[in-house]
Chains A and B, each alone.
Chain A
């Protein structure tokens, strides 16, 4: 996975961002996410990580450089689950398919399939207020999976969850990653999460953000939860942590 020969699913070429109010959020950022790669960006808060994803998805126009996305079918998972409170789990998971004009039968079939995939079967008729934080995130994941995206953008999706739930969702995300074969660009401020999930970890400097560290994570998939307790894992996490500390000014 993530072999050097694969075509880039997403590439940033000298992307920079200065907001109208003068905030310099990103400085000349260049990197690729190749098909089958799971790239995670860690960096101090406010360094421009969310901005990077917003630019990748087209929600924000960069002020310099260019972004190239191989396939327009992009999944975007936000830090908040952004579920529509007035829709049931079933209807929330159908939302994107509905917005894309996919017919009723097909979208309810896809929704059912993905609800099962994220382990929410039995909760189809529940409303968001009846779900825990972890379940909301599962629902949000299922909603994106319905469109079967080739590249996934994750903006600190598990940041608000407790440790146990987060690790559980990490395991499940990896099995989805293996099963679906999407490319992923993932943002987190947890070093352990970054190392556990990724084929590659990028470290960003404080604002204006810039890639200052690039770590290849050699562990093969599937990765068992116990991987987190190994010496090699600790060694890598230490290196990332060191780079991150250098990035905080």
Chain B
């Protein structure tokens, strides 16, 4: 399975004030130090990394491509040309930003639908072993089906515009939501379950007061993976379902076919930026919801 449940890691240390009380009280064994430190390297490394990346890009554009592979240098546009032709040029910028809007919109709608369906499925599957066993194969199979093969069917049902693109997003991002949610729901400690059992709680109480809150960190990891996939889904969907509003994927495809390389790289950058933005937003969202209590396995943040 390509998207095994991943435990949320990194960046989860909540804002914890070190409490003097801890030391004064009772002489208990020392409480876990709750430290939040920022090292200069936390910031310096990504900046240096970015500089290196741009440097490598220039290197490939001006020297690498011609000298190593003997190919024409216009295949890799230099970064400043990309910026100038895609984002400073008014026409290109307008087209690209509109494209970004449509792609973001489609992937967001797809993601929300996938979250609703995926969580519902996971909750159903968590209720009985036989349900889990009968639903899993279809989810795994869904992962393996090439969307290309389904294009005519999806297109004739949902049309060749936005709805079909949304469908692709859902198809592509459902699996990590189901698998992460299910994994989280089933991973409450035995002792915690025993505690609830001792008080003869209903399934609903067990679900809402134990399993779901326990699953939050893993669910958010699933959301994060799914959000990235949904962006990919939207772009892939646009390449198959081209009618209607032009998203980044459609622009990408038409710049490619017209050999407008600078703009094509511009579209690629926007697609990547959208993926990164989504990733950061969900990370931030995650911190907001579970950061206070979740103990990340990673020691230094």
**Is A57 part of the contact surface with B, judged by Cβ < 8 Å?**
yes
**Is B70 part of the contact surface with A, judged by Cβ < 8 Å?**
no
Given A76-B195, A76-B198, A84-B192, also A134-B29 (CB < 8 A): yes
Looking at the complex, which of B19-27, B149-157, B262-270 is the stretch in contact with chain A?
B19-27
The interface centre, meaning the residue of B28, B31, B32 with most chain A CB atoms within 10 A of its CB, is B28
**Is B199 part of the contact surface with A, judged by Cβ < 8 Å?**
yes
Please give the distance in Å from B300's CB to the nearest CB on chain A: 15
**Is A165 part of the contact surface with B, judged by Cβ < 8 Å?**
yes
Contacts of A98 in B (CB 8 A): 209
Interface of A, helix, strand, loop or mixed by DSSP:
loop
* Cα of A76 to Cα of B242 in the assembled complex, Å: 63
Q: Are A85 and B293 in contact (CB under 8 A)?
A: yes
* Cα of A80 to Cα of B209 in the assembled complex, Å: 19
Q: Are A119 and B25 in contact (CB under 8 A)?
A: yes
Looking at the complex, which of A25-33, A40-48, A107-115, A125-133 is the stretch in contact with chain B?
A125-133
Please give the distance in Å from B240's CB to the nearest CB on chain A: 42
Contacts of A168 in B (CB 8 A): 26-28
Q: Are B213 and A164 in contact (CB under 8 A)?
A: no
Among B29, B189, B198, B214, point to the contact of A132 (Cβ < 8 A): B29
Q: Are A129 and B293 in contact (CB under 8 A)?
A: yes
Among B19, B191, B210, B295, point to the contact of A129 (Cβ < 8 A): B295
* Cα of A134 to Cα of B32 in the assembled complex, Å: 11
* Cα of A128 to Cα of B31 in the assembled complex, Å: 10
**Is B127 part of the contact surface with A, judged by Cβ < 8 Å?**
no
Given A59-B198, A76-B195, A86-B213, also A122-B34 (CB < 8 A): no
* Cα of A162 to Cα of B29 in the assembled complex, Å: 7
* Cα of A33 to Cα of B237 in the assembled complex, Å: 69
**Is A135 part of the contact surface with B, judged by Cβ < 8 Å?**
yes
Q: Are B194 and A59 in contact (CB under 8 A)?
A: yes
**Is B30 part of the contact surface with A, judged by Cβ < 8 Å?**
yes
Would you list which residues of chain A between 186 and 216 have a CB under 8 Å from chain B? none
**Is B290 part of the contact surface with A, judged by Cβ < 8 Å?**
yes
Give A130's nearest chain B residue, CB to CB.
B34
**Is B196 part of the contact surface with A, judged by Cβ < 8 Å?**
yes
Would you list which residues of chain A between 65 and 121 have a CB under 8 Å from chain B? 74, 76, 78-80, 82, 84-87, 95-96, 98-100, 119
Contacts of B271 in A (CB 8 A): none
Contacts of A95 in B (CB 8 A): 195
The interface centre, meaning the residue of A76, A80, A85 with most chain B CB atoms within 10 A of its CB, is A85
**Is A233 part of the contact surface with B, judged by Cβ < 8 Å?**
no
Q: Are A86 and B192 in contact (CB under 8 A)?
A: no
Contacts of A80 in B (CB 8 A): 189, 191
Would you list which residues of chain B between 29 and 59 have a CB under 8 Å from chain A? 29-32, 34
Contacts of B26 in A (CB 8 A): 119, 134-135, 168
**Is B243 part of the contact surface with A, judged by Cβ < 8 Å?**
no
**Is B216 part of the contact surface with A, judged by Cβ < 8 Å?**
yes
* Cα of A84 to Cα of B32 in the assembled complex, Å: 17
* Cα of A130 to Cα of B216 in the assembled complex, Å: 19
Q: Are A135 and B213 in contact (CB under 8 A)?
A: no
Contacts of B22 in A (CB 8 A): 132
Give B212's nearest chain A residue, CB to CB.
A86
Among B25, B27, B31, B191, point to the contact of A164 (Cβ < 8 A): B27
Among A84, A122, A130, point to the contact of B210 (Cβ < 8 A): A84
Please give the distance in Å from A60's CB to the nearest CB on chain B: 10
* Cα of A54 to Cα of B19 in the assembled complex, Å: 38
**Is A161 part of the contact surface with B, judged by Cβ < 8 Å?**
yes
**Is B136 part of the contact surface with A, judged by Cβ < 8 Å?**
no
* Cα of A84 to Cα of B199 in the assembled complex, Å: 15
Would you list which residues of chain B between 177 and 200 have a CB under 8 Å from chain A? 189, 191-192, 194-199
A-B interface, 7 closest residue pairs, ranked by CB to CB distance from nearest: A134-B28, A82-B191, A132-B31, A129-B295, A99-B199, A127-B293, A86-B213
A and B contact pairs by CB, cutoff 8 A, 30 listed: A54-B194, A57-B198, A58-B198, A59-B197, A74-B198, A76-B195, A76-B198, A78-B191, A78-B195, A82-B189, A84-B210, A84-B213, A86-B213, A86-B214, A96-B199, A119-B25, A129-B293, A130-B31, A130-B32, A132-B22, A132-B29, A134-B28, A134-B29, A135-B26, A162-B29, A164-B27, A164-B29, A165-B29, A168-B26, A168-B27
